[in-house]
Amino acid sequence: MLKGHLDMIVLAALSAGPAHGYAVIEEIRRRSGEAFDLPEGTIYPALHRLEQAGLLASRWTTSESGRRRRVYALTRSGDRALAERRALWQQFSDAIGGLLEGTRPCKKPA
């Protein structure tokens, strides 16, 4: 469960460059080493939410084959938000690390 971190994940996926919804799903799957295979019912609402929040901007395009796609890109705000989220994640991750410390017989250098 990605509860609470989905937004960061989507933003991170789009930090590589603009993409449409379906491509975001594949990008996430690829970059997570197949760990995250997010269903559409998760991604699309997230994209809408992020656009609503001004972190993404979307634009309709039509490919040569005539297929219509909605392409999302990070806004300036989105960029900043991603940086924030990443910092928060670091904190969070470290805190969890602290919690798990001592739980496991990890090799202590000292």
Partner DNA sequence: CTTCCATACCTCGGATTGCTATGGATCGCG
Partner DNA sequence: CGCGATCCATAGCAATCCGAGGTATGGAAG
Binding site for a copy of itself (CB under 8 A): 1-5, 8-9, 12-13, 15-16, 28, 31-33, 35-36, 82, 86, 89, 91-96, 98-104
Strand-pair category, 56-62 with 19-20: unpaired
Cβ closest to a copy of itself, residue 4 vs residue 66: 4
Residue 62 three-state SS? strand
60 torsion bin: left (phi>0), alpha (psi -120 to 50), beta (else): beta
Q: Distance from CA of residue 33 to its chain's centroid?
A: 14
Which region among 21-29, 75-83, 86-94, 97-105 touches DNA (by CB under 7 A)?
Answer: 21-29
Residues forming the site for DNA (CB under 7 A)? 1-7, 20-23, 38-42, 44-49, 63, 65-71
